Structure 1
Amino acid sequence: MTTTTLRSLRHFVVVAEELHFGRAAARLHMTQPPLSQSIQALEQELGIALFNRTNRSVSLTPVGALWLPHVRHVLDQTEALPQVAQRLARGEIGTLHLSFVSSTVYGLLPELVSRFSMAFPDVEITLKEATSNLQVQSLLNHEIDIGLVIAPTHRDFPPNLDYHPISSEPLIIALPQTWLNEKNKIGDSDTINLRDMAHLPLILFPRESSPALHDLITGYYAQLGIEPLLGQQAIQMQTMIGLISAGMGFALVPDSMRTLQRTGVVYKSLYGDAPMMETGLVLHTHHAPPSARNLLQLAIQIRERNPNFL
């Protein structure tokens, strides 16, 4: 829409409100002839008469009367454009595309999304569950704005992506309840030594889908000097817990998974120093939208205020 067209639309609204070209011209701080010419040019452009004119009166045609609220709406939206641009620049409106790993559903993600929605109610959040490596690729392809990932051991991300650690939690054991006091006397104490589980099938994330968590777990086995007895594989936490409920094996899962109560599944702490799983946010270094930066700042505030986080 050109500046000339917008000016003519404003002229139309004022004349429609005054129904007098002289008063409308005075209100617009212009003389009457240019105003009349502006309205005539608009009518010619549209091919529609907007006003009925006589020597004594001016009135809207039926089409002009019907068109008036539409023109007012367009002008209101046009006048609001600078404010819209400013709010977009502050990340207060728009859409935020957030991806997340399944483990965060039971800890960080709900709190983060809830706080963001309260702080920025006019930003629509779209959520997509994906493994960490797929999130990195989606960021590079500009398919998402920010990702909630499990940190690789050396935090090695592509150079044009920024990673920010947010939380860290120990891994625990999730095992079938029927195994307690069975399976060669695991026992029912609050902690379990992983060496006592070495003869039992471990349900593990495939390395190609979750290399960070896979390497953390297999590295812990290596540290203890034992080999895992690999059983089933799963790429989602819920699937893994379902397999455990069916007695198919046990798994090492983040401590926040205790909130997922499933019949036939119990959670036990690891004896000694448990491996720590770090979760963080990753986003573009220079091209992240303001809303993604706002989410990051909220996550940092959560981290600083919660002693269970980093």
Structure 2
Amino acid sequence: MLERTETEVLLALAEELHFGRTAERLRLTTSQVSRTVKSLERRIGAPLFARTSRAVALTSIGARLVEDLRPHVKGMDAAVRTAIEAGRGVSGTLRVAFVGAAAGQLLLKAVALFGSRYPDCEVHIHEAQVHDACERVYSGAVDVLITGLPVRGVRVGPVLLSEPQFLAVPRRHRLANRTKVTREVLADHPVVQMPDTLPEETRRYRIPDTTPSGRPVRHGPKANTFPEILTLVAAGQGVFPVGEHVTRFYPRPDITYIPMPDAPPLQWAPVWLDTNETGPVRAFVTCATEITASPASTKSA
């Protein structure tokens, strides 16, 4: 029989194909992941992963084991959730969080609908900051977080809001009179950096390493919260890509927001841990999806 940790390491490494990312996702050390895999391989008597200095890949035996295990693990998790929900229903306490004003508006609407349907479930609302939002989900401090995508290592619900990007610049900046800019300007001006506690793919989606033509993006100072980011922009220490909602929720006399039409849209969605997918979590995600189903409600967010 496999221990739960062994199964989680095997399945996560099969998806990530990277020991460091697997360790981060499971909140283990890289050496713990390596020891677990070696222990499994000794018990099975064959390599499950082929490792080189540059890549990790499943062997044929490893791929077959993962394929056979995955539906059983999902079935066991579903059976436990079903038993819990049969005993409790949608009740108890649900901890929900948001990052930023747009996510906050979406969350409030979802909470209102959820409360009307499930009055026996108490909802606790939390505001998360850029630097600690994902950690709150990974640690189990919150059950559901509405945040910007992409986010790794979590279950991602339907996209609730998709918006174009703008570039925040100081009011007196030489770009401030432009009607639009392209991502190429990120090579010409320092860009305020998001905290390292955010997953790398989240940071790189917003602030790429290079512009579309391949020029390196200039790094500016690092910030931990969104108000801090805007303050650094206003102080002339850098520019920063933002979503369209920021132009409405964060108007400032010392900052100008310029459309950046060649940048990919910013998307917002509920995320939660696979291991924490309960009846209340699923019910809340359903409510959040319903309140953004009509074009009018999405626009009003």
Q: TM-score range by the shorter chain?
A: 0.5 to 0.7
Whether the 8 Å CA contact 2:114–2:287 is kept in 1: the answer is yes
Note the alpha carbon deviations across 1:57-115, whole angstroms, 9 max, x for none.
xxxxxxxxxxxxxxxxxxxxxxxxxxxx9998442x43211133336446533433344
Equivalence for 2:229: 240
Whether the 8 Å CA contact 1:145–1:289 is kept in 2: the answer is no
CA distance in structure 1 between the aligned counterparts of 2:215 and 2:101, rounded to whole angstroms = 26
CA distance in structure 2 between the aligned counterparts of 1:164 and 1:303, rounded to whole angstroms = 13
Whether the 8 Å CA contact 1:174–1:266 is kept in 2: the answer is yes
Q: Is 1:277 the counterpart of 2:269 in the alignment? A: no
CA distance in structure 2 between the aligned counterparts of 1:88 and 1:176, rounded to whole angstroms = 56
Note the alpha carbon deviations across 1:106-153, whole angstroms, 9 max, x for none.
65334333443454455432233446895555445443222223332x
Whether the 8 Å CA contact 2:209–2:217 is kept in 1: the answer is no
Write the mapping of 1:67-216 to structure 2, written as runs, cut at 5 A. Answer: 89-91=88-90, 93-102=91-100, 104-105=102-103, 107-121=105-119, 123-130=121-128, 137-152=135-150, 156-157=152-153, 161-166=154-159, 167-179=161-173, 183=174, 186=175, 188-196=177-185, 198-216=187-205
Equivalence for 1:47: none
Q: Secondary structure at the match of 2:172?
A: helix
Write the mapping of 1:247-258 to structure 2, written as runs, cut at 5 A. Answer: 247-258=236-247
Distance 1:248 1:111, change over 3 A: farther
Aligned partner (choices 279, 288, 306) of residue 295 of structure 2:
306
Quick one: which amino acid aligns to residue 230 of structure 1?
Answer: H
CA distance in structure 2 between the aligned counterparts of 1:240 and 1:133, rounded to whole angstroms = 11
TM-score by length of structure 1 reads 0.57
Whether the 8 Å CA contact 1:205–1:214 is kept in 2: the answer is yes
Aligned partner (choices 285, 289, 296) of residue 278 of structure 2:
289
TM-score by length of structure 2 reads 0.59
Note the alpha carbon deviations across 1:15-62, whole angstroms, 9 max, x for none.
xxxxxxxxxxxxxxxxxxxxxxxxxxxxxxxxxxxxxxxxxxxxxxxx
CA RMSD between the two structures: 3.3
Whether the 8 Å CA contact 2:184–2:211 is kept in 1: the answer is no
Structure possessing the higher radius of gyration over alpha carbons: 1
Distance 1:305 1:146, change over 3 A: same
CA distance in structure 1 between the aligned counterparts of 2:240 and 2:234, rounded to whole angstroms = 11
CA distance in structure 2 between the aligned counterparts of 1:107 and 1:189, rounded to whole angstroms = 30
Whether the 8 Å CA contact 1:243–1:249 is kept in 2: the answer is yes
Structure 1 unaligned blocks of 5 or more: 1-84
Q: Is 1:264 the counterpart of 2:254 in the alignment? A: yes
Note the alpha carbon deviations across 1:235-265, whole angstroms, 9 max, x for none.
2212111222222221001221112112211
CA distance in structure 2 between the aligned counterparts of 1:207 and 1:229, rounded to whole angstroms = 16
Give 1:208 shift: 3.2
Quick one: which amino acid aligns to residue 172 of structure 1?
Answer: F
Give 1:202 shift: 1.0
Note the alpha carbon deviations across 1:198-251, whole angstroms, 9 max, x for none.
322211203433533311133374434222221111122121112222222210
CA distance in structure 1 between the aligned counterparts of 2:168 and 2:183, rounded to whole angstroms = 12
CA distance in structure 2 between the aligned counterparts of 1:291 and 1:274, rounded to whole angstroms = 36
Quick one: which amino acid aligns to residue 163 of structure 1?
Answer: V
Q: Secondary structure at the match of 1:165?
A: coil
Overall identity of the aligned pairs, in %: 20
